[in-house]
Amino acid sequence: MGGYLRTTLLLAGMTALFVGLGAAIGGQQGMLIAFVVACGMNIFAWWNSDRVVLGMHNAQPIGPQDAPRLYQMTADLAARAGIPMPALYVIHEDQPNAFATGRSPEKGAVALNTGLLDLMPEREVAGVIAHELAHIRNRDTLIMTITATLAGAIGMLAQFGFLFGGRGQDGRSNPFGPIGMILLVVLAPIAAMIVQMAVSRSREYEADKAAAGITGDPLALAGALRRLEAYKQGRVNEAAEANPASAHLFIINPLAGLRMDGLFSTHPSTGNRVAALEQMAGRMGPPVAPRPAAARPQPGPWSGRGRRNPWG
């Protein structure tokens, strides 16, 4: 119920900001148009966000025949998390990273970069997958996707305000005056961005905490975060750079040059997240022993690159 409540409140707040900006730019008619567009965008984001973001990053679906150990690990962790097995995808990208998407636990998907699978030991991969499953269980994927959609829409509407000067349907200038209009079209996108970033940062901390509960091993995720932060340096994620609105979905910031835990950062400081997990590990005690893996078939290639699958 908490996930539904957060989604409702967030949609209401972002939609109100969008509608208010539309009213300031175009009066009653602008408000009505903005409301209809906002509703349409919310519905589109609800139904299509997973396909859109997976397509953006050229994610390829994999099944138990492609990576049996990875698939079984994900299934085991999903069972511990109390959610259905998500669809599993691989992204042929050297930067180690991962994200989850999907409008509900029944429609969840986890995408892992090949850079992560190549560089990270199995225990840490389990921590990353548990983090993404926590996002799915908490419905954070829906919340963060819709905030990104509406933040972009508010920015687009603000640009229209600059172009059309904020005149209502009767041709009169809006009541804020030219200075007020300029401030409005500048501040509204900033307000939307602050909401988006604040939600993203808070959900990362919560997903870290939930992942530690799923695996019983907070230090596995702490080690994974350290490794992700270290090995992303010098590896440019081309798809993320081309689609920065999706950056908040990843477990660590995939964009180059954003290292501070500031107001406009999509992610908390990795050091802060690691410290929180280490404190949790001290309270929880020794990690829960992982379930032993059954015999697996021979590995197969990830793709046409000729890369051998380490998770066969």
Helix (H, G, I), strand (E, B), or coil: what is residue 160? helix
Considering only CA atoms, which of 157, 145, 150 is closest in space to residue 56?
145
Q: Residue 275 is encoded by which pair of tokens? A: 């410290």
The helix or strand, by DSSP H or E, that contains position 61, with its residue range, turns out to be strand 60-62
Catalytic residue flag (residue 106): no
- The burial class, CB within 10 Å (0-12 / 13-18 / 19+), for 151 is buried
What gap in Å lies between CA 39 and CA 195, rounded to an integer? Answer: 19
Q: Which of 124, 132, 204, 229 does the annotation list as catalytic?
A: 132
Contacts of 57 (CB under 8 A, 6+ apart): 91, 93, 111, 239, 240, 243, 246
Output the CA angle 258-263-264, nearest 5 degrees. 45
Please state, in angstroms and as integers, the Cα–Cα distance from residue 149 to each residue in 45, 169, 279, following that order. Answer: 7, 27, 35
Considering only CA atoms, which of 116, 71, 128 is closest in space to residue 92?
116
Active site residues: 132
